[in-house]
Structure 1
Amino acid sequence: MTAPAVRVVVVDDDGLVRAGLRLILGGSDGVEVVGEAADGREGLAVVERERPDVVLMDIRMPVLDGLTATRRLVEGRSTARVIVLTTFDTDEMVLTALRHGAAGFLLKDTPPEDLVAGVVRVARGEPMLSPSVTAQVITAATRGGDDSRERSARQRIERLTEREREVAVAIGRGLSNSEIAAELYMGMATVKTHVGRLFTKLEVTNRVQIALCVHDAGLG
């Protein structure tokens, strides 16, 4: 039985970018662009109407920027997973979006096959960032330090059991569930259980936020 197509909404103020993404995603098997918008406010309305699996969200837009739109989606308990679109992978606003609950980010010049793969992975709830990209994001996010953020992260980490902490650190290194299972000698079901508990105990909504918490606490 064929799996249902991943439903995607594209939010970007550049018409050419939207057209390009629609062409790339629409031409792939298993992905369907169900809506698009030119600013964050319009994007929120389209997401509410279409109920997509994934939202490709530009950061800098008129009327309502992508950062605010992402935060409102997450706070509104939207089931759509947000992928931030950016031109530079060190964009400070991207890091803020990740802290607010974005599932990951893609550069606008990402090769088409990688863009499609990224969308599908996020729709499945899989980790978005490769270990190398995770390390780069974490380094930029934690540069300069923030004492209050570190204290908060350490307090949340203290809630974890030893095994949960090991899983959290592995996620902070960018490992997938299967890689964690192999490294820590766990079954996949056990890993998934631990990850679910991390979401609750660390008060996060995705794996990127787990990684940020781990590094804020000085564990990675």
Structure 2
Amino acid sequence: MARDADKLDWLSTATSGARKELTTLIEFERNANRITEVATGVIPGLLQTSDYARAVMQHLSLDEIETMVLMRVGRREILMKPKAPNLVCFISEAALLESIGGHAVMTEQLRHVVKMSEWDNVDVRVVRIGTTSLHPAHMGSFILFEFPKATPIVHMEHYHSSVSLHNPGTARAYQDAVTNLHEVAMSPEASAEFIANCADEKENDIDDTP
């Protein structure tokens, strides 16, 4: 799909499609020169720690969890290869405030995001809650894969299904949405400071836990 923009949009449903979906995402990531993820509920996959990923996947069996966590963490290697893609993450403040996995897991996760945001090819921006204006992040999470010589692909995950869209008109709409989010999100520097402060607060919550 990453090489051929003429194929039909791809829809995966049910748990049996999870591995196929992950394989497809890995293919997209390997071929993309730019990956933009808008995350409104959880931390983006390429930024997740092992413990946080386990907490996100707690609905799976133990064997499935360990396999999927290894694959998810392994995907991060694409950001370290020669000519690695640029990763741009717009993370909703709400995703930073939820202590998925507990305060200790979330503290580690937030500090990991700050550390990765220091990489030259990783751009992390926080989208604050409390705005009075509607923006694209209010419409839900998505990943936009852009390629050197192919039509961009938009990937969206739902509770029990996922869909990959690569119609040129759809891709342009999501590219425009990303442009809009650059205008409403915090700067990378301010975002890193904000996330670090969230980590400090989570750490204090650990100390206050009976």
TM-score normalised by the shorter chain: which range applies? 0.3 to 0.5
Q: Normalising to structure 2: TM-score of the pair?
A: 0.33
- Structure with bigger RCO (C-alpha 8 Å, 6+ apart): 2
